[in-house]
């Protein structure tokens, strides 16, 4: 009798675990679908700039490029160096370098790479992890989203990307 109870408990536990895993997978898929849908048009999102000012990510009638990055990521650092070599290519677009890192880390990144000084239309800002996930589905750094002047997503890159590939979508 005792053996039957143990087997039934184990069986019930395994079934419960499988159901729970299926539910988690379904919820993850739904969140991913929702983020993909939301990112198709540039959403309005609150960001914190390096001086702790809260701004709103919004469309300003020109192409917008979002770089989701981590200051410690070597690929992101490579992209920062590439970008600094051709600032004129981005003069007719607004650029946002977004990270979930703490502001003091982002300030140190700007001090080292001087992106905002080199490109006046570039803003380095902190995005909340919740907004990064729910609005854009950001998971991998670097991820680049390119929006046209009307705020429609025209291209998404995941991983290190050459600046020439980005620039061709800004014309």
pLDDT at residue 101 is higher than 90? yes
Do 127 and 96 meet the contact criterion of CB atoms below 8 Å apart? no
Instruction: Tell me the mean pLDDT in the region 144-162.
Output: 95
Check residue 150 and give its pLDDT.
Answer: 92
pLDDT at residue 84 is higher than 70? yes
Check residue 35 and give its pLDDT.
Answer: 65
With a threshold of 0.85, does the pTM exceed it?
A: no
Check residue 109 and give its pLDDT.
Answer: 98
Cβ burial of 106 (10 Å; 0-12, 13-18, 19+) is: buried
Check residue 105 and give its pLDDT.
Answer: 98
Q: Give the helix ranges, DSSP H, for the chain.
A: 2-38, 74-85, 103-113, 115-118, 129-136, 163-167
pLDDT at residue 117 is higher than 90? yes
Instruction: Tell me the mean pLDDT in the region 9-14.
Output: 88
pLDDT band per the 50, 70, 90 thresholds, residue 142: very high
User: Looking at domain 41-167, which CATH architecture does it have?
Assistant: 3-Layer(aba) Sandwich (3.40)
- Point out the least confidently predicted range of 12-26, 27-41, 78-92, 144-158: 27-41
């Amino acid at each position: 009798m005792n053996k039957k109870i143990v087997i039934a408990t184990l069986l019930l536990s395994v079934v419960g675990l499988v159901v729970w895993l299926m539910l988690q997978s379904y919820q993850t898929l739904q969140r991913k679908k929702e983020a993909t849908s939301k990112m198709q048009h540039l959403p309005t999102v609150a960001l914190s700039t390096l001086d702790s000012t809260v701004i709103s990510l919004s469309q300003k009638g020109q192409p917008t490029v979002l770089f989701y990055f981590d200051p410690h990521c070597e690929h992101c650092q490579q992209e920062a160096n590439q970008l600094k070599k051709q600032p004129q290519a981005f003069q007719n677009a607004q650029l946002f370098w977004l990270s979930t890192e703490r502001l003091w880390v982002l300030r140190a990144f700007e001090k080292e790479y001087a992106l905002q000084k080199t490109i006046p239309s570039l803003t380095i800002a902190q995005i909340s992890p919740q907004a990064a996930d729910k609005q854009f589905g950001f998971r991998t750094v670097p991820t680049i989203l390119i929006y046209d002047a009307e705020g429609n997503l025209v291209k998404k890159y995941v991983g290190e990307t050459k600046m020439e590939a980005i620039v061709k979508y800004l014309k």
